[in-house]
Structure 1
Amino acid sequence: MQTHQYDVLIVGAGGAGMRAALESSVRTRTAVITKLYPTRSHTGAAQGGMCAALANVEEDNWEWHTFDTVKGGDYLVDQDAAEVMAKEAIDAVLDLEKMGLPFNRTPEGRIDQRRFGGHTRNHGEAAVRRSCYAADRTGHMILQTLYQQCVKNDVDFFNEFYVLDLLVDHDLAGHAVPDGEEVSVAGVVAYELATGEIHVFRAKSVVLATGGAGRIYKTTSNAHTLTGDGMALAYRRGIPLEDMEFFQFHPTGLAGLGILLSEAARGEGAILRNSEGERFMERYAPTIKDLAPRDIVARSMANEVREGRGAGPNKDYVLLDLTHLEPAHIDAKLPDITEFARTYLGIEPYTEPVPVYPTAHYAMGGVPTNIAGEVLRNETDVIRGLYAAGEVACVSVHGSNRLGTNSLLDINVFGKRAGISAAEYAVGAPWVELPEGPAGLVQAELEDIRTRPDGERVGDLRKALQDTMDANAQVFRTKESLEQALADLRGLRKRFASVSVQDKSRAFNTDLLEAVELGFLLDISETVLVGALNRDESRGGHFREDFPHRDDAQYMRHTMVYRRPLTVPVEDAGGDRDGVFSGSTDFDDYRVVLGSKPVTMTRYQPMERKY
């Protein structure tokens, strides 16, 4: 077992992690732990763009961007965070340009911008060109640019290391820590894929930047590595997860596959059509049509299929039509998207519409943070030295539905903020003593799975989980469907206790790591289902057919999900203070407790959401 010591430790090498590393590395000794080679991180799959009110092409300002973000999130957005993101968006884009990111240009040489869903001028008057882009490879370009800068700044990378435990000086999961009492981070425990060895990393500051959890669903745009690691590690350590019931289903996944076709296609003029050739979004969002926010478009598409207007032999998808666009325009602005259609479906987008259907895409919820990136352990108290940024975090800048291109902006604005905060804290903070035991427990648990002679197969359990999540907790939900998914999950948890792997080796045992990731997926699915069952309303990405309307009187609150032992009374579990939709769900050996947190409002009062 090896031990390492750094001032700032960043877990994850996607856009948020490397943006944080850039800021911390110029201030203090920094390392990045990543289970992938950095340029393979999922940020590289982001296609469409990064929004900022540059007004390079059309009139725009950051206040309109803020309003669109709040309205797009169905008013569950913390408005102070949205204001920070919209204001700092301009510098975030210019920072990347100065680092060398090759944005598309206008004829005058400025950064070009295109339209994206939910982004409007003058509070909804019409769609506005706000997305800064590099063809349809914007995320790939951001990832390459940030990695080059990290190498330039001598950031230490530990590639193909899996973080399996988060070390804090209080057992938040085991007992109630009084409000106001200090809790501090001490480091992490990681597994080295190449050798099977356990490493302990001691740090004054830890930044979680591990990305999302789309692999809880079968049909998803997410890479196989997006298994909710950082969220699950925090959850197991007693840190709450916020707003996990809100999961975004991107409208245009390749039908049957989930591989993403960016919203950039609709931004460049592509049109959604049903089997009758109708541009059906004119009925659902008459003002901005195909460029409505993603939750509205996804539900509209699913509704067309449910009402019998789906295309194809099984009438189970709709069509994305680019055939009216000039081939030269498609090649210049959408080269990857069209290549995906050719490669995976054998469709020629120049002449044929592309079959598409909603795909699980983005978790609006995550580890709760404030606008400095500090992780919260309840409504108000922070864990000293622990930060989070990107999709793993919930500063609640996305509310219940994220607008397209706000994700690449989020990772840059709040990745930068988390990196600065982590470094500034580390400069003056004392070292926290490493708790005894966790590293040995991690090793013992891995050995137990690795050496088990037989048992349940990882692939079978993962498929069963993804199938029930797809069937019961996707675009449309009901109490009955969610209860069915939760019942299935309980059964899968019992089966997971006897999971085994075929590969018994120590070096490069990806079979073993997939078993660990399955445990993370079960944890995250649990938080999604429990939160969704207890929110008896429809808002953003969470649509309950049995409660089809938004209920601001009861549910204008953030959900906080805590995991606690059965021995801890519900009232001592760290939930909310005023009883708003609080409750608990007991599993075999632990209790999931629900609390809530108020939504921060500054200037925009909730109103009916129309487009």
Structure 2
Amino acid sequence: MKVAKRTFDAVIVGAGGAGMRAAVTLAESGLKTAVISKVFPTRSHTVAAQGGVSASLGNSEPDHWTWHMYDTVKGSDWLGDQDAIEFMCKQAPQVVVELEHYGMPFDRTDEGKIYQRPFGGHMSNFGEKPVRRACAAADRTGHAMLHALYQRNVRANTQFFVEWLALDLLRGVDGSVLGVIAMELETGEVTVFQAKATLFATGGAGRIYYSSTNAFINTGDGVGMAARAGIPLEDMEFWQFHPTGVAGAGVLITEGVRGEGGILRNASGERFMERYAPNAKDLASRDVVSRAMVTEMNEGRGCGPAKDHVMLDITHLDPKTIMTRLPGIREIAIQFAGVDPIKEPIPVVPTCHYQMGGIPTNYHGQVMAEDGVVPGFYAAGECACASVHGANRLGTNSLLDLLVFGKSSGESMIEQIRKEPAALPEIPQGEIDKTLARLNRLDQQKQGASVHETRLAMQRSMQKHAGVFRFKNLLQEGVEQILAIEKQVQQTEIKDKSQVWNTARMEALELDNLIEVAKATIVSANARTESRGAHVRDDAPDTPEHPDGRDDVNWLKHTLWYRDGNRLSYKPVVMKPLTVEPVALKKRAY
């Protein structure tokens, strides 16, 4: 197969919020910048983010970045690195104002300031009471952000390669990253994109689960490519289940609904979160709310004939508030739940939403391996693990993550590129041949496993074995099942071998990435024998020594999973911030 070659100063894989924020920084500095995306940029999954982006602007009431930092460390169940968390929270006001100057149409207060709403886990004065910190554009914040960033990139002459699928990372003989090899979906053309610096901003991999708020494009492409290239994956056992996906559909109902005053109720109409989080109530951290909902259902207080969901009630709100602040949510509820939330509560259930782990980076966006920085390689957004989210992400910190680390990655890449010699190094032919062999195997495979059936088996297994609550025997069984499914993935057959718009080929290549994510998740979860944040095990009981099953003596550390041999290693959590006093360990309660 003939392989074309293109060269750039910087190559970015992924055109969501992180990729486009980095691209703005690079392109506006005059560097030749390419962005590869398998969908049109404004269809990237950032467009689905609803509730807001967090920043301690203090537009409605007093706020401070140190309070935001405290909430983020606490939300992470102390698994977040405090240097990166300080960096993110301190940068938040600046990157939000920059975005506003790019043309982001934020909602406004009566005084003309950016409108802010409360969100789960965000508190004033170090956990005292909820605070308005989420900067919102109605309930379509991600949509507004993505369009603003895309327009800024068009102005900066960023070069987009739309409907191209990145296949593999290309590494030099010294271990440095030299670019990626990618395929144009329409023609099947394979091209090497070589650059002095490469950024992965490919988003999450929620499609490893059967029920997910994630788009079908969220297949962990960057994470899978990194794993195949020998890069470890960090903290992959931690997956956030959003409390409010539409029951039976999985479509997201933003936390902003509860920020505007929405209440979760069980079958008897009780506001049950008062029992689980007396202070924050419905605005407790997402993992806390999700487990409370599942507990209500498991104990027979769920709604509907199967008692398999609870109700999100906003019927007590002024209809004008719903129409102004939550218009998209009303539309979703009518279309996917068949209810008008002005008149009836919305049936909701916890649904896989966010990947806390990913490609390990520092807060400059540089990818880190056991022996230090991987030269020429950067990651930002959901595919990366800085680690600011630790064991549980606070709502609205995802969009902030995109802005802060997209920008810092771009700045780091500029610094590196300007030090590089003009001539690009030779790419080892073996790196290209590995990808061509994988494509050839897919095209030649006969009487193999069905891509669809294999993917479905993986998703059902992950849903059963690594969900909201985790059990020792189920986790061990899950490891065995996923490793067996991996063998099927290696033998999948493409039924339609047409070269033009071959979605079957793309789905097979995506499955290669999904199975790496599933392996990393289930192996890491099985090994972590404590409960922390979103990872809750039945065999890690709540004791005075281990509050909520958390074991800080043995497990206050990051997991690193290596594809080679399903090997695990660990590294310490950074407990020392950059300039302020550390947030001390304590029991996590809301």
Where on the TM-score scale, by shorter chain, does this alignment land: which range?
Answer: over 0.9
Deviation string, structure 1 residues 67-91 (Cα, Å, up to 9, x no partner): 0000010011100111111110001
- Tell me, in whole angstroms, the C-alpha distance in 2 between the residues paired with 1:54 and 1:265: 21
Shift of 1:410: 0.3
Alignment of 1:381-420 (within 5 A): 381-420=372-411
Residues of 1 paired with 2:513 and 2:193: CA distance? Answer: 21
The Cα offsets for residues 30-53 of structure 1, whole Å up to 9 and x where unpaired, read as 110111110000000000000100
- Is the counterpart of residue 610 in structure 1 residue 589 in structure 2? yes
Contact map agreement 2:243 2:289 (CA 8 A) in 1:
yes
Q: In 1, Cα distance between the equivalents of 2:425 and 2:537?
A: 45
| Residue 149 (structure 1) shift | 0.4
2:34 to 27, 31, 34: 31
Equivalent residue of 1:376, what SS? strand
Report the TM-score when normalising by structure 2.
Answer: 0.96
The answer to whether 1:18 aligns with 2:31 is no
Give the 3-state SS of the residue equivalent to 2:126 in structure 1: coil
1:102 aligns with 2:76: no
The answer to whether residue 60 in structure 2 is matched with residue 57 in structure 1 is: yes
The residue matched to 2:381 in structure 1 has which SS? coil
8 A contact 1:51–1:409 mirrored in 2: yes
Give the 3-state SS of the residue equivalent to 1:372 in structure 2.
coil
Q: CA deviation at 1:546?
A: 1.1
After TM superposition, give the deviation of residue 257 of structure 1 in Å.
1.5
Q: How many residues align?
A: 573
Aligned to 1:484: 477
Structure 2 partner of 1:311 = 303
Task: Tell me the SS of whatever aligns to 2:429.
Answer: coil
Which is further off, 61-70 or 439-448?
Answer: 439-448
Please tell me the residue identity of whatever aligns with 1:529.
I
**Structure-1 separation of matches of 2:489 and 2:135:** 44
Instruction: Judge conservation of contact 1:24–1:420 (CA < 8 Å) in 2.
Output: yes
Q: What amino acid does structure 1 have at the position aligned with 2:589?
A: K
Question: Within the alignment, does 1:207 sit opposite 2:193 as a pair?
Answer: no
- In structure 1, the partner of 2:458 is 465
Contact kept in structure 2, 1:451 and 1:504, CA below 8 Å: no
CA shift at 1:26, angstroms?
2.1
Which of residues 65, 86, 91 is equivalent to 2:89? 86
User: Does the CA contact (< 8 Å) of 2:483 and 2:519 recur in 1?
Assistant: no
How far off its partner does 1:338 sit?
Answer: 1.2
Q: Distance in 2 between matches of 1:471 and 1:441?
A: 34
Partner residue of 1:554?
Answer: 554
8 Å CA contact 2:479–2:519 kept in 1: the answer is yes
Q: Encode CA deviations 1:343-390: one digit per residue, 9 max, x unaligned.
A: 012111111111100000001000000111000111x50011110000
For residue 248 of structure 1, give the secondary structure of its aligned residue in structure 2: strand
Q: Which runs of structure 2 are paired with 1:353-368 in the superposition (5 Å)?
A: 353-368=345-360
Cα separation, 2, equivalents of 1:57 and 1:118: 17
Counterpart among 584, 592, 597 of residue 566 in structure 2: 592
Aligned to 2:520: 527
Q: What is the aligned partner in structure 1 of residue 493 from structure 2? A: 500
In 2, distance between residues paired with 1:113 and 1:345? 28
Q: What's 1:440 paired with? A: 433
Q: Which residue of 2 aligns with 1:588?
A: none
In structure 2, the partner of 1:48 is: 51
- For residues 10 and 523 of structure 1, the distance between their equivalents in structure 2, rounded to whole angstroms, comes to 21
Distance 1:189 1:333 in 2: 43
Aligned partners of 2:179 and 2:194 also within 8 Å:
yes
Structure 2 counterpart of 1:9: 11
* Post-superposition CA distance 1:445-492 (Å, at most 9, x none): 223213434321111111111111111110000111111211211221
Distance 1:441 1:399 in 2: 34
User: How big is each residue's C-alpha offset from its partner over 1:134-185, in whole Å with a ceiling of 9 and x where there is no partner?
Assistant: 0000000000000000000000001111111101114xxxxxxxxxxx6311
User: Which of 134, 137, 144 does residue 134 from structure 1 map onto?
Assistant: 137
Q: Hey, what does 1:324 align to over in structure 2?
A: 316
User: 1: distance between equivalents of 2:388 and 2:214?
Assistant: 21
SS in 1 for 2:315: coil
Q: How does 1:178-327 map to 2 (within 5 A)?
A: 183-327=175-319
Deviation per residue, 1:116-135 (Å, 9 max, x gap): 00000011110000000000
CA RMSD of aligned residues (A): 1.0
2:508 is aligned to 515
Deviates more, 1:427-436 or 1:460-469: 427-436
Offset, 1:18:
0.3
Offset from partner CA, 1:407-430 (integer Å, 9 cap, x none): 000000000000111122112213
The answer on whether the counterparts of 2:516 and 2:563 sit within 8 Å (CA) in structure 1 is no
Whichever residue aligns with residue 324 of structure 2, its letter is A
Percent identical across equivalent pairs?
Answer: 52
- Structure 1: where are the runs of 5+ without partners? 171-181, 565-590
SS at match of 2:540: coil
> Does the CA-based 8 Å contact 1:198-1:439 persist in structure 2?
no
Are the equivalent residues in 2 in contact too, given 1:187–1:434 (CA < 8 A)? no
CA distance, structure 2, for counterparts of residue 429 and residue 362 of structure 1: 36
State whether residues 220 and 359 of structure 1, in contact with CA within 8 Å, keep that contact through their aligned partners in structure 2: yes
Contact 2:171 2:431 in 1 (8 A): no
Give, in whole Å, the separation in 2 of the partners of 1:283 and 1:482: 29
Q: Give the Cα separation in 2 of the matches to 1:369 and 1:444.
A: 30
- Between stretches 429-438 and 548-557, larger displacement belongs to 429-438
CA distance in 1, matches of 2:185, 2:495: 16
